[in-house]
Copies of this chain bind each other. A is one copy, B any other.
Amino acid sequence: MNRICQLFNIKYPVNQAGMIWCSGWELASAVSNAGGLGIIGAGSMYPDVLKIHIQKCKKATNKPFAVNLPLLYPYAEEHIKTIINEGVKIVFTSAGNPTKWTKYLKDNGLIVVHVIANVKFAVKSEEAGVDAVVAEGFEAGGHNGREETTTMVLIPLVRKAIKIPLIAAGGIATGRGMLAAMSLGADGVQMGSRFVASNESSAHLNFKNKIIETNDGDTMLSMKKLVSVRLIKNKFYSEIERLENEGATREKLAEALGKGRSKLGMFDGNLDDGELEIGQISALLKDIKPASEILKEIIDEFNVAVKEIRDLKF
C-alpha cells in the first residue's frame, strides 16, 4: 500500500498544488472526485472567501480534500480557525516555520503536511511532527527556495534525511514524471502547473492560453532580492529584470512590484502587467482539459512507463 494513498485515504498518490488565484473549490473538488487530493489555495483568500470555498468543496465532493495555508499570510491565524471550524481534515502549510502551528493543528485532529525546499526544513518539519513533507524543486512555479535545488537533487537528499512520507513537487506534470520522482524516493507527487491549465482552475483563460504556448526558457526565477518567484517572462518581468541588472535596492524593487500583481495577471488575465506564476514544466503542456482527464492520463502513462522500465537490467 502506498503511504500517501494511505495517509490521505485516496486512490492515486497525486495531489494538485494549492495555488493562489488558481485553485478554488471547483478545481479541488474535481481532483478529489477523480481520485487524487484536491487542495484549496487559501493564500489569496480573505477569511470569509476561504469559508465559502470550503463549504462549497464539501458539497461538491465526499472525498478527502485539503487546504493549503502559507503561514506568513496575514490571515493565517483566522484561516486556521476556519479550517478547524469547517472540519477540514488535511492542511498543507507552507512559507513559514513548521514548529509554529503543527502541534496545534495536530491536536485539533488535522493531518499536517509542510512544504519545504531544502533539507534543513525537511528535518525541522519531521521533528515538528508533521505527517508528510512536500519537497519542491527550483523548477516549480510561484514562490521558491533560495537554494535553487532542483527536484532531481532535492528528492534524494530529503529522502536520505527523513523517514516520513515524501511528496515530490516541481517539474512534474505527467505519469513519466511521477515515475521519475518515485524512482528518486518520493511516495507521491504534487502538480501545480498541470492543473492550472485545466477547465476547473480559476485562472483567467488568457493565463491558461499563455501557459500552453510557453516553451523552454519562457519562465524564470525572479525577484530574488525580495521573495524568489518563478513566472512567465513578460513586460512586467522585463521591468523587474532591468532594475535587478542595474543593482536596484529591495525598496526600489518592492515599489516596482507594487500590490496585486499576481491577481492582475493570473485572475484578471492582464498578461503584460501582471505576475504570471507558473512552473518550467508548462513548456510540456499543450492543452486545457478537465481535471479528471488530466489525472486519468497521468495514471495511464505511469502504468505504461512502469511496463517499459520493469524489464531493464544491466
Contact = CB atoms under 8 A, between A and B. Distances in A.
B309 A179 contact: yes
A243 to B, nearest CB: 9
A29 to B, nearest CB: 21
Interface string A112-154: 0000001100000000000000000111000000111111111
Interface of A: 2, 11-13, 118-119, 137-139, 146-154, 156-157, 160, 170-172, 174, 176-177, 179-185, 215-217, 220-221, 225, 245-248, 280-281, 283-284, 299, 302-303, 305-306, 309-310, 312-314
Nearest to A170: B152
Contact of A180 (B148, B160, B184): B184
9 smallest CB-CB distances across A and B, nearest first, come from: A247-B247, A147-B217, A152-B171, A180-B180, A310-B310, A150-B150, A179-B183, A180-B183, A139-B150
Interface centre among A182, A225, A314 (most CB of B within 10 A): A314
Contacts of A12: 314
B314 A302 contact: yes
Nearest to A149: B216
A149 B313 contact: no
A166 B178 CA distance: 20
Contacts of A310: 306, 309-310
A84 B241 CA distance: 45
A272 B306 CA distance: 46
A183 to B, nearest CB: 4
A149 B119 contact: no
15 contacts: A11-B314, A139-B149, A139-B153, A146-B217, A149-B280, A150-B150, A150-B152, A156-B174, A156-B177, A179-B309, A179-B312, A247-B248, A306-B310, A309-B309, A310-B310
Contacts of A139: 138, 149-150, 152-153
A157 B314 contact: no
